[in-house]
Structure 1
Amino acid sequence: MSAQREDVTELAGLEAPKLGPTGRPLRDFPVPKKLRSHGPARIIALCNQKGGVGKTTTSINLGATLAEYGRKVLAIDFDPQGALSAGLGVQTHDVTTIYDLLLGAQRDVTAAILPTGVENLDIIPANIDLSAAEVHLVNEVAREQILARVLRQVTDRYDVILIDCQPSLGLLTVNALTAAHGVVIPLECEYFALRGVALLVETIEKIRDRLNPAITLDGILATMYDSRTLHSREVLQRVVEAFGDQVLETVIARTVKFPDASVAAAPVTTFAPEHTSAENYRQLARELVFRGAVA
């Protein structure tokens, strides 16, 4: 702030607002009100074609915090690696998975829904079988809309459905984007992660134009942010310059608590509920409710 602006602030008897990592004034979003009833669900795809940017960590912890605020949440593991299932302590052997639902081997979606250790948070798991889905679905009629048809059976039972996408822009991800009402893009505060965001936004626009006119970008979420490094700060600044208010105000800081929670197969909100990382995700849940992305 210039000396002239400081003088004006002092004369006005006001303190300059404290700025957050995104360069906007810090604000604490209100705790959402309890819901009187549940459904229909808003479907949100967590998507980025680059791996290791925090999609699964965000799916786990956003789902857990929304459930903490009384929302009924269904998490869809849509990655053949099955990291979401493992991160919530769900076994994926000898159970019905999303792969079975996509190929029609199981038509009853409720048969694939499993409870987690978090109240109000359920999951449809995945395992390595899902890697074969693209090959099997490529000749199907309306192959991009198969996931949407599957989820249509259970939308009335939940408030939010979160789809943890695999790190690619293949047919599975196109299915997720076609089924979704909104997209959250987790973005690691690192230069190479930044390069792919424009391509992903372009893909979302193509999906909107050709397959799903209702899809919106709910926000770009900065993850693995380290305020001590100039690189993190510069990347975040460039993202805000490029995408403005589409960048969420909540920023997820880098911490060892996330891998520790993954080993414990629990959300960080239950593994270390008082830690800053848990509060980051509560803030994210409150911001998405405030923005209208979640009921």
Structure 2
Amino acid sequence: MRIHVGCEMTYDFAHDTPVVAMLNVHASRFSDLEKPDYLLTVPAVPLEGYRDTFGNWCNRFVAPTGRFTLRTDTIVRDHGNWDMTDTAARQEAVQSLPAETLLYLLGSRYCETDRLSQTAWDLFGTTEPGWARVQAICDYVHDRIGFGYEHSRSTRTALDAFEERRGVCRDYAHLAIAFCRCLNIPARYCTGYISDIGLPPPHSPGDFAAWMEVYLGGRWHTFDPRNNSPRIGRILIAYGRDAADVPLTLTFGPNTLVNFTVTTQEAQPIAT
């Protein structure tokens, strides 16, 4: 299967402004790209690429005063299968976890494990450890939070989402991640593209999405508390402890986002 992904973001900048953009498909999918998903800007400016602490690809540049557009576009080859499930995946004891996963047991900017720990154990402490426990967390978060773009707020934490019972996909992910970490399950925040391929219409407008990856049975598994169902064509851009680590754009000055479009759709097969 071929999936067309890309985005276009247009800003008005009050003055020349440093920006870091995290918009390229993750390195784990590079071999699936039919063409490089170069970050293009209008007007053109010099870009400096680098990898952050988590290995995500970033571009830094200075956006000039006035109207400025960022754009990416590529075709990703995908197996076309639904997200994998492994109901036999077991939770590992903390002392047996790989050292690189321990970071994802800690509290972070949006995931207050210290304030949610008792709640997590009260709600899920009697569930079967492993896949069943994580799925119980996703079921609970999916049912507890009401989705709405009008509820988006950049300062909302996992505890806020728990108490307010509303939010967007990042809030679902933050609350589920916090619960997992409270229960000694490494969990990391993911951002990227999710398609509606294989789902009946009507389809939602294109947007970036957030989900989580959880370490069970010796590897990372995808869970999506917002949709709480498998998807076809989930394409990772970046992962970190929470949304603070993986902003699509990080701007160091005042600006206004005036246009935002995201494309995730099946492309036609190559004619033979």
Please give the TM-score of this superposition, normalised by the length of structure 1: 0.22
- When normalised by structure 2's length, the TM-score is 0.24
RCO higher in 1 or 2 (8 Å CA, sep ≥ 6)? 2
Greater strand content: 2
